[in-house]
Homo-oligomer: A and B are copies of this chain.
Amino acid sequence: MSKIAVLGYGVVGSGVVELFYKNKEKIEKKAGHEMDVKFILDIREFPDSPYKDKFVKSIDEIVNDGEVTTVAECMGGVEPAFTFTKQCLEKGISVCTSNKELVAAKGDELLALAQANSCNYFFEASVGGAIPIIRPLHRCLAGNDITSVAGILNGTTNFILTKMINDGMKFDDALKLAQELGYAESNPAADVEGHDACRKICIISSLVYGRHVYPDSVYTKGITDIKLEDVQIVDKIGAIKLIAQVSRISDETILPTVMPMIVPHESLLSSVSDVFNAVMVNGDGIDKVMFYGRGAGKLPTASAVMGDIVEAEKHSKTVLSQSWEAASDNSFVEDYTKLSAKMYFRINAADKDKVNTVCSNAEVICSDDNNYAFVTEKLSMKQALEMQDKLKNNGVEVITLLPLLSE
């Protein structure tokens, strides 16, 4: 009989406890031995909880208990989660986390600490909720040279964009609906401005390319500027999605970005709607594989934490978690102006005759009384921004500039 502890009894932490007792027998069979939740750490009181006897307020009770072998960290935020996680790992207690903020900020350090103490720091739940993505990426695809990863990694923004696409709602109305349904927080900045997706692509980038990528080195643009006009115009060729992606640019450099992009209808990613997430991985062996599922929510996220707990419990003496190097600087992260893509431009219909001198060979996808929109050949973002400047010098205001996702 081994003992586990859960840090934080919020949405995910309570989900872990719920899922564990629901499927206890199956989980124990998979882990190979009996298990129980011995402690739940939370500063709040839960007098009516069936687990009220398990609640503690100090991490010391857990790390000094001597019986706890695995901890689920479901607190969120960097502190005190970082300190608590270090205390566990230093005692050889494996930690399974859903805390993307902490992994994105301190993953390198915590993975090294786990390795040094012959235990595991697992973080499957930190990216893509229920979707198995971390373990498949570093285990199953180990034979590949991964050339790029592109994902819809934030359910809130995907819900909002889906409402704009399918129901013709404006951004503000779709956001309000998302808040009413509990998909968006009252302060939605972390989601709609792309910071949540940024943390996740940092984790994926670090894992795939072996060096810690910090969120502040990643170009991040959210969806607050997305206009319904563009959603409707691009419907002919694809769907606007908030894409978090990373590509290998050279042997030494990578380019991670978070920004709205047009996903062509031919890509399965364009069919990923509502709160669902998906991650498309490109590599020299696999060509492409995609993982799809619920990127958030109580039980989906708890499922990922639980999978990690089973793995940690089954192999308590084996270091299975992947490490990556600390990065002393960001010089291996390329500037987003190097992004290469077909580019979508929208301008006022009145200006359309002024475009030809600046951009020939473009495919016109809309030319009506109000709007003129076209898609260029593949350009670098630098070239696209230069084109935008040239148009401005010709008296043409570019209303929208969006890159197309290429697979």
- Which A residues contact B (CB, under 8 angstroms)? 19-20, 22-23, 26-27, 29-31, 124, 130-132, 135-136, 138-145, 210, 268, 271-272, 283-294, 297, 299-300, 302-307, 309-311, 315, 318, 320
Which residue in chain B gives the minimum CB-CB distance to A134? Answer: B140
B309/A320 in contact, CB under 8 A: no
A286/B268 in contact, CB under 8 A: no
Contact of A293 among B138, B145, B271, B286 (CB under 8 A): B286
Note all chain B residues with C-beta closer than 8 A to A210: 29
B23/A307 in contact, CB under 8 A: no
Note all chain B residues with C-beta closer than 8 A to A284: 19, 22-23, 299
Which residue in chain B gives the minimum CB-CB distance to A304? Answer: B140
Which residue in chain B gives the minimum CB-CB distance to A270? Answer: B271
A254 to B318, CA, bound (A): 34
> With A22-B284, A130-B286 known to touch, is A143 a contact of B291 (CB < 8 Å)?
no
A10 to B139, CA, bound (A): 25
A289/B293 in contact, CB under 8 A: yes
Note all chain B residues with C-beta closer than 8 A to A299: 284-287
A285/B136 in contact, CB under 8 A: no
Shortest beta-carbon distance, A275 to chain B, in Å? 10
Contact of A23 among B143, B311, B320 (CB under 8 A): B143
Note all chain B residues with C-beta closer than 8 A to A23: 143-145, 284-285
A144 to B26, CA, bound (A): 8
20 contacts between A and B (CB under 8 A): A19-B144, A19-B285, A23-B144, A27-B143, A124-B140, A130-B285, A130-B287, A132-B139, A132-B289, A140-B304, A141-B307, A143-B310, A268-B271, A285-B299, A286-B299, A288-B293, A289-B291, A289-B292, A290-B293, A318-B318
Note all chain B residues with C-beta closer than 8 A to A138: 30
Contact of A318 among B31, B290, B315 (CB under 8 A): B315
A143 to B18, CA, bound (A): 11
Note all chain B residues with C-beta closer than 8 A to A302: 143, 285
A290 to B138, CA, bound (A): 18
Note all chain B residues with C-beta closer than 8 A to A130: 285-287, 289
6 extra interface residue pairs, beta carbon distance < 8 Å, beyond A29-B210, A135-B140:
A23-B145, A132-B139, A135-B139, A141-B307, A143-B305, A318-B318
B271/A300 in contact, CB under 8 A: no
Note all chain B residues with C-beta closer than 8 A to A271: 268, 271
Contact of A306 among B19, B142, B304, B311 (CB under 8 A): B142
